[in-house]
Structure 1
Amino acid sequence: MSLNKSELVSAIAAKAEISKADAESAINALQDVLIESLGKGEAVKLTGLLSVERVERAARTGRNPRTGEEIAIPAGYGVKISAGSLLKKAVSA
């Protein structure tokens, strides 16, 4: 089971006792802040919940699974998401 964006908006609106429009605006703002911060190389940490950071990936050699041909994979960036203590506790119970 998973929660899609509209279900998340509804759940946040009910929990915070705000309108769905306000909840959606808050989620969109969080998304914008995450994108902007990670784009600048800044980590975003919600203590106890999660942390999100940009990580560098070194250039490496990969292999095309279909042909077995080696390919050069350039250096780049990825995103690392780490669960905080509250999330870890919620899933272990």
Structure 2
Amino acid sequence: MIIHHPLLGPRDMREFVYLGEAALIARPDGMSETAAEDFHTYLHERVNPAGLHRELWFHEQGDRSWLVVTRNTVTHEIMSVELARDVARAQGRGR
């Protein structure tokens, strides 16, 4: 599978490490009243969809960037690749 890195162009998937669903960018507030429940959900509950899924990938064998890859888990077709920092900023998390 080839991942089209936004800065470096096409790269073999073996340069990357899969780290789970992209929702992990939205880390819970550790100071909230429901922090224990929120962190349990954040750490242990995952979806396993058949179809489109947004995933975190780390470019371990390259520039060490984090990417959000939107991929069809059935066909492995990659629909889009974004820098995770841009996704976090768009969600108001990366200042």
Shorter-chain TM-score above 0.5: no
Q: Which structure shows the higher strand fraction?
A: 2
TM-score by length of 1: 0.30
**Structure exhibiting the larger radius of gyration computed from Cα positions:** 1
TM-score by length of 2: 0.30
The higher-RCO structure (CA 8 Å, 6+ apart) is 2
